[in-house]
Structures are given as C-alpha cells and as structure tokens.
Structure 1
Amino acid sequence: MSDNFHDPDSVLSASALRRRFLETGSDDDLPIADAHQHFFDVDRGYYPWLSDKLVDNFRYGSYEKIRRTFLPDDYFRATGRHRVVKTVLIEGEWNPEDPLGELQWVDALAQEQGFPHAMSAQAWLDRADVNEVLDTYARHPLVKGIRHKPTAVSRHEYSSRFTAPGSMRDPAWRDGYAGLGPRALLFELQVSWWHFGEAAELARDFPETLIVINHTGLPSDRSADGLRAWRLALETVARERNVHLKISGICVPGQRWSVEANGPVVRTAIDVFGTQRCSFASNYPVDTVVDDMADIFDGFKAIARAYSVEDRLRLFYDNTARVYDL
C-alpha cells in the first residue's frame, strides 16, 4: 500500500480496514474518521481571527504559525502513517457576514479533493437570517450540523443563573436553536465545562437535537480541583442521552502532547460518556500550535490500547461515522 493515504487509488476502503483491524487489532490497520478538523484558504476567504490582529485570549497562546492556508494535501502530510479515511470539517470562523460562503468553498473542495466527507457549518442562531441559512444547510448533503459558540464567561464570573444575549438561555438564541431538530441538523457545542448546566437544560428541552461537545469540554485547569469540577460537569451533561463527546483539543500550552498529561483526561471522558458516545479527533491544524498530529494520534492510540478491539474501532471510526452519517 502506498504511503500517500490521500490518493483514493491507494486507500483501502473504510469497510476493508474495519475488517482487517477487527482481525489483527493492530494500530497500523485502524481506520480513523477524524471528527473535528479544519481547512483554511486565507487567500480566497476572510477569517477575522486568522487575517486580522491576533486574538489575545487564545487558549494555546500565540497561534501565529497557523495563520496560513491549510488544505487537504497539508492535512495528509501531517497525518503521517495514520490511516485517516474520512474527515468531518468544522466551520473555521469564516467571515460572519457570509456564513454560506464557506459552504460554497468547502463543497468545491470536497468535489475536487474528496475531503471532507461531512461538515458542520457556521450559523448565527440569534440573527434574523437564521432560518434562511439553516434551510440552505438542510438541503445540502455535506452539512450535518452547525456551530455557534454561545456567549460564555470565565469560571470565576460564572453563576448557575447565568444568562446573557447569545447564551444558551437567551430566548432569541433558543428560538434559532429550535430550528435544528426539524431540519435534522446536529449542534456543535464549544463552551467551557462550567456552562454544562445550561447545556444539559438545552439537551432536555430539545431532545430531538444531538449535541456534540467540542474539545472534551475544554479542561484547561489541570489542578486536582479543576479536574474534579470538570468531571462533575461532564457527568451532569452525560445524563442526557442526546449528547456526544469529541475527545480533542486537550493540548497543554507549552508542552508536547503526552500520555502522562492527557491520559487521565481521556480515560475520565470515556469513563463518563462510555465508548459508544465518544469520538477521537485531531482539531488540526489548530493543535499544531502545540504538537504534530501524528504524535496526537499516537497518544490516543496508546491510551486506547486498554480497551477492546471493538471499542477502539468505535472511538476512532464507528462513532463518528454514525453521528455524521458518513
């Protein structure tokens, strides 16, 4: 088999790899459906956070190195030997005045390159054009869901009664959110874990809409107290059966990705949500700020060896394929 896994002629089908992996249990045969990745084209599209002044509060620190175009060829150079056979592109904070422009660009890219296989697109749930935007997404086979990062605050500012314009308790935002279920669109939730009480309310109030939590709930505080509080928050939202968890975005600023640092986070996430409600994802190229994608997937595989062959396949491929209908 060629080392160029991006070349369709050299890639074993996902079904063939699944069969082989179930027989061998070898990490070399494990198919991966990357549940969270990005492509950027800073020459064709306008991304305020990539094109304008650096954002001061980016969670990994300076991200100057990713303020560039990143396309499928770049992605597959980064995967190394890992057998990524399908990917889910998450909106890249394209120009908010033109949310549909990103879909047009991604659709052309997918037709030309074969990647991505699914997309969660940008929408602004509290804007007047939300129904028009959601109708367009619902008609497009590539789009499986949307992402709108709700208004949030720091942990020390948060209270259980928190509400604000654009938050998960904002009536205008929830009116837009109510349009997802009838259109069979899932919701990508990127918010810090102390907002998970609101997320649990949202899941209960709209049980027909699947919520997919991004980046493991952002457990940036690795103190014992921080990890205990994060786990309790995970347990709160995991009680709602229409919630799925993506294990990604857990890099520690200034450190290479390591099993020692991230193993407890990964194992806790799987312990709380179970192997049928979690998916591994790269968050590439964003996580290249801290480490290489090949190293991150090496780490996930090392941690996952404690689980059965069937569970490893669920975490790396099957769950993502089911959630995003790949």
Structure 2
Amino acid sequence: MDLAGMTVVDAHIHQWDPLTTPREFSGLAKLFRYVPIPVDLAKRLAPRREREFVGDPTPFVHPYLPRDYQQDAGEVPVEAIVHIEVEWNGKGRLAPADETRWVESLPFGVDTPALGAIMGAGDPTAPDFGELLDAHQAASRRFRGIRARVETHPDPQVRAMCKTPGLLTSSAFLSGFGALADRGLAFEAWVYSGQLPEVTALAERYPDTTIVLNHLGTPAGIFGPVGRNTGQHPGQRRELFVRWRDDLAALAVHTNVVSKVSGLMMPILGHPVPERGKPTPVPVLLERISPMLEHALDVFGADRLIWGSNFPVDKPITSIPNAAEAVATALSGHGADDKAIEQIFRTNAERVYGIDEL
C-alpha cells in the first residue's frame, strides 16, 4: 500500500551518539573507533544473546541522528517522530533527564522531521522517581512519559536487562508508578510476550494512565530459533503464537492501553539476518507479520494501534520504506480502510503523545 498523499508520525525511533553521550554500548563504539576491528569479526566474538538481539552491530557503533534517520526514511512522508529512551547510563540519580535534554537539542525540523515527543527513561522503584519525572519535564516540553527497563525472559540466552521476574506487579514498582499517574504521564511498556499478563494487571490497577505496549509484546523466537530453547521448531513457535494471541486479547480489553505495530522486524523475533544493504523484501515480511497484525487489528481496533519504525534497531532486517509498506499492506488486506491507515500512521500518535498540542 502506498502512503503517498498522507503525512506520517513515526512513533518509535531512537537517537544516539555513543561517542559523545553515555550509553551502555559507548565502550563498544569507542573501541571500533580507535581499534580497527572488522564489524563482522566482532559480531562473531560477541556473546550469543547480543548477536541474536542486534543482528548486525553496525548501527550501534555509530551515531544515529536526525539526518541519518531522514536518509533511512526515504520516500516515507514522515512529518514528526517520537524518540524513545535508549540505554543512557550517565551518573547521578537524575541522569536520565540528561537524555531528554540532549534529544531536545538535536536539529529536528531542519530539513528533517519535527520532534513530536520524547519518552524518557526512569525506574519507578527508585525512591526519587517523582523528582526524576519533574527533571524530565523541566528538560523538555515534549516529554510525555517514561519507558523502564523491565523486559525479562525465562530463556537465559535471550537478551534482557531486567533480572527480576514479576517486577511490573511488585509493590515497589506499583508504588512508584503512582507518581507517573499523578502527573498524567504515559508509560511505554517494552516487555517480552510472556510478561503481557503483568502489563494487563498494571493497566487494570491504573485505568486512567495511558500504557503504550511496544512492538506488540515482542514474542521472541516467533519467526525462528533464538536463545537456548526459544522458537526452536514449528510446534514451539505455534505454541508461542497461541499464548501471545490470547494474552494480547486479554490486554486489549483495557481501553487505556494502545499498542505499537512496531519492532516487528527486530532480529530477536527470529528473522534471518540478510546480507548488509539488502533489506528483507516486502512479500517476505508480509508472510511473517500478517497474522500478528491481523490479530492486533481485531483486538485493539484501528483507533488503538500506532506505527513506529523502531529504527535503527530494525535496520539489520529491513528498511523503513519496506517496513511501513508491509505493515500498511497487511492491515489494509485485513479490512483497514484509508481512514484507519491514517489513524495508525499519524492521528493516533498525535492524540496519544499530544503532538498536535505543540
């Protein structure tokens, strides 16, 4: 489906410069800058969980800034973007607000899409979480909420930053989450699919807080084997799909939850990584992602789905134009008309992130 003739909000991108700002992968980026190690050699030497998550480390060892995104967007008519926090590791309890301040300073809107909103980093279990939220808000009028590193997975070879299963429903997390709710801010939930019931419990406890599910819940291994024992054969992948389908439907009952049709080209889903510079073609993507998108449209409806490219994380698998076309084609093939496509690719993001209020 052609998106020409409409404008798009890309509601999930990452901006970084690991050479000049503190990121968890800054050490790796600086190593590549000063030591001439071939990227492909470094990939072979990296731990398996890292290889399978990133697919190709190239995007992580270079800055990714507004001009880089504009080049990747190509002919997709992106009008504005939403930046999502990405592994900032500055020192100090209010350090995550520095990422918000840094993103606000980037040259968006200068022959590049506008900066529509920022979702910063924060840990609701931290005792100074409320103070951090205030610091984020002081750093940018575009700050709309936080994403916390809560993703966990039972397979130890699937990359996950959180080592505490059940964190989303813990008393410490729920207590801190109230500070977010009190300020009318949103929560960006990136979890693996086994955690979807936790997101459902959170949505039920805080029905007036907007929760944005990232990447349809990231069912790792749904397209191919990853980790030690995830998605290893068709029967296992079918079981994974069925559980994901049922848990997503249960989550969608809660009207304060919207879901991003994003990150469906993350390598951790089990996509084969193509040769660098040769993005997976649209027909192949359609065959893989259509069942997920059709179910998401059925349970959330067009007014609670939001598109995002998840670039540059999805770049090892495909391009932004291919990803956007595949998502739009799959949704339109399942009954989404032009108005619905416009909602998913623009107006829902404007509503949820308050972009039209800028």
Which TM-score applies when normalising by structure 2? 0.77
Please list every run of 5 or more consecutive structure 2 residues that lacks an aligned counterpart in the other structure. 30-45, 157-162, 224-236, 266-270, 275-279
Comparing 133-142 with 175-184, which one deviates more in the overlay? 133-142
1:187-236 Cα offsets, whole Å, 9 max, x none, are 00000121111111111111121110001110232422221111001011
Q: 1:65 aligns with which of 36, 47, 58?
A: 58
Task: Indicate whether 1:312 and 2:341 are aligned.
Answer: yes
Indicate the RMSD between aligned Cα atoms, in angstroms: 2.4
In structure 1, stretches of 5+ residues that fail to align are 1-24, 157-162
The residue correspondences of 1:124-163 to structure 2 (distance < 5 A) are 124-139=123-138, 140-150=140-150, 152-154=152-154
TM-score, structure 1 normalization: 0.84
- Would you say the 8 A contact 1:60–1:253 is kept in 2? no
Map Cα deviations across residues 79-116 of structure 1 (whole Å, 9 max, x no partner).
Answer: 11110001100011111532121111111115774642
Question: 2:354 and 2:150 mapped to 1: Cα distance?
Answer: 25
**Deviating runs (4+, > 6 A) in structure 1?**
none
What per-residue deviation string (whole Å, max 9, x for no partner) do you get for residues 49-84 of structure 1? 353496642454543111210111110111111100
Say if 2:269 is the partner of 1:228.
no
Who is 1:324 aligned against? 353
Match of 1:47 in 2: 23
Q: Which amino acid aligns with 1:39?
A: Q
Is 2:214–2:260's contact at 8 Å kept on the other side of the alignment? yes
* Segment drifting more, 268-277 vs 61-70: 61-70
Render the CA deviation track for 1:156-178: whole Å, top value 9, x for unaligned: 9xxxxxx9478112211222111
Q: CA deviation at 1:131?
A: 1.6
- Kindly state the Cα deviation for residue 134 of structure 1 after the two structures are TM-superposed: 0.9
Taking the aligned partners of 2:164 and 2:89, their CA distance within structure 1 comes to 23
Secondary structure at 1:313 match in 2: helix
Q: How does 1:1-326 map to 2 (within 5 A)?
A: 27-52=3-28, 56-58=48-50, 59-67=52-60, 68-95=62-89, 97=91, 98-109=95-106, 113=110, 115-139=114-138, 140-150=140-150, 152-154=152-154, 164=164, 167-220=167-220, 221-222=222-223, 223-251=237-265, 252-254=271-273, 256=280, 258-306=285-333, 307-326=336-355
Q: 1:219 to 1:232 in 2, by over 3 A?
A: same
Structure-2 change in CA distance of 1:127 and 1:65 (3 Å): same
Does structure 2 conserve the Cα–Cα contact (< 8 Å) formed by 1:121 and 1:147? yes
Q: Distance in 2 between matches of 1:194 and 1:229?
A: 8
CA contact 2:186–2:212 (8 Å) conserved in 1: yes
1:16 matched residue in structure 2:
none
Overall identity of the aligned pairs, in %: 27
CA separation in 1, counterparts of 2:193 and 2:165? 19
Deviations 1:246-282 (A, max 9, x none): 0111122425261111111111111111111001110
